[in-house]
Amino acid sequence: MTVMIIAIDGPAASGKGTLARRLAAYFGYHYLDTGLLYRAVARDCLELGHDLNDTRAVTTLACSLDPVRLDDAGLRAPGIGEAASIVAKIPEVRAALLEYQRSFANRLPGAILDGRDIGTVVCPDADAKIFVTASVEERAKRRFREYEAAGESPDMEKMLELIRARDARDAGRGAAPMRRAEDADLLDTTEMDIETAFDAAVGLIKRKIGQ
Ligand code: DC
């Protein structure tokens, strides 16, 4: 029996996480949100008071990361996402997290990983690849609603600014920048609700894996 690997990449607030989790439940595959690895390194770095750009200190933390601590709810806080995007620029940090991601991907019967570089670097031979996106305005709106649901009073201009800055950092870095793999299907969810996006993703994957 061969392992089935599905790569889901895309920018912040594109809905790729929700989609990937639901796809994993549907296909019965393991699921890894690879953003949590970078978030955990950033959390450890902030807790210890290190500079997020201190290559040596951050790399040491990445090398000793315990993936078991990935279920910490605090990892999903927006500030940690920003910090994660900063440590993720460091090539040594990315290298330190690569093996864990690849061995996770090789678990039977299959695995779905979501991130920025799954289809391009972590699992270039994945059986199916989807690059999930949505317009900057739509992603900012989704973030806005998340903040509101958490009882905060967000500012729309600020949300737009944050999303644009994150896109620029994730796509502009030298090491494994966020980009659509040449053989990835594009799923633009700007005009889609989650059910429509889910059905579309299932269709794309089934076409690729021949189910
Ligand atoms: O998907 P997320 O928002 O949880 O990711 C947080 C940051 O981590 C993202 O802005 C960039 C980095 N990241 C990455 O560089 N590569 C990945 N495969 C996943 C996340």
> Domains of the chain (ranges plus CATH)?
4-203 (3.40.50.300)
Q: 88: Cβ below 6 Å to ligand 1? A: yes
Over residues 81-100, the pLDDT tens digits come to 999 999 999 999 999 999 99
Q: 39: Cβ below 6 Å to ligand 1? A: yes
Q: Is the pLDDT of residue 68 over 90?
A: no
Q: 143: Cβ below 6 Å to ligand 1? A: no
pLDDT band at 69 (very low <50, low <70, confident <90, very high): confident
Q: Is the pLDDT of residue 163 over 80?
A: yes
Q: Is the pLDDT of residue 39 over 90?
A: yes
The residue nearest atom 11 of ligand 1, judged by CA position, is 85
Average pLDDT score over residue span 143-164: 91
Under 8 Å between Cβ of 119 and 129: yes
How deeply is 80 buried, as exposed, middle or buried, from its count of CB atoms within 10 A (0-12, 13-18, 19+)? buried
Q: 94: Cβ below 6 Å to ligand 1? A: no
User: Which residues, in sequence order, are CB contacts of 164 under 8 Å at separation 6+?
Assistant: 136
What backbone torsions phi and psi does residue 185 show, to the nearest 5 degrees? -80, 140
Under 8 Å between Cβ of 67 and 31: no
Nearest atom, ligand 1, residue 17 CA: 1
Nearest atom, ligand 1, residue 89 CA: 15
- Interval between CA 81 and ligand 1 midpoint (Å): 7
CA distance 159 to 207: 36
Nearest atom, ligand 1, residue 169 CA: 10
Q: Is the pLDDT of residue 41 over 90?
A: yes
- Tally the residues of the chain: 211
Q: 81: Cβ below 6 Å to ligand 1? A: yes
- What's the pLDDT score for residue 73? 84
How is residue 151 written in tokens?
């009882």
- What's the pLDDT score for residue 45? 97
What backbone torsions phi and psi does residue 105 show, to the nearest 5 degrees? -60, -25
What backbone torsions phi and psi does residue 180 show, to the nearest 5 degrees? -75, 130
- What's the pLDDT score for residue 147? 86
**Mean pLDDT across the chain:** 95
Least confident residue range of 84-88, 101-105, 150-154, 195-199:
150-154
Average pLDDT score over residue span 187-199: 97
- What's the pLDDT score for residue 10? 98
Q: Is the pLDDT of residue 178 over 90?
A: yes
Average pLDDT score over residue span 121-147: 96
Tokens 């955990």 found at: 40
Q: Is the pLDDT of residue 211 over 80?
A: no
Q: 11: Cβ below 6 Å to ligand 1? A: no
Sheet of 4-9: strand order equals 30-33, 110-115, 4-9, 128-133, 185-188
Q: Is the pLDDT of residue 198 over 80?
A: yes
Annotated binding site for ATP: 10-18
CA distance 71 to 109: 23
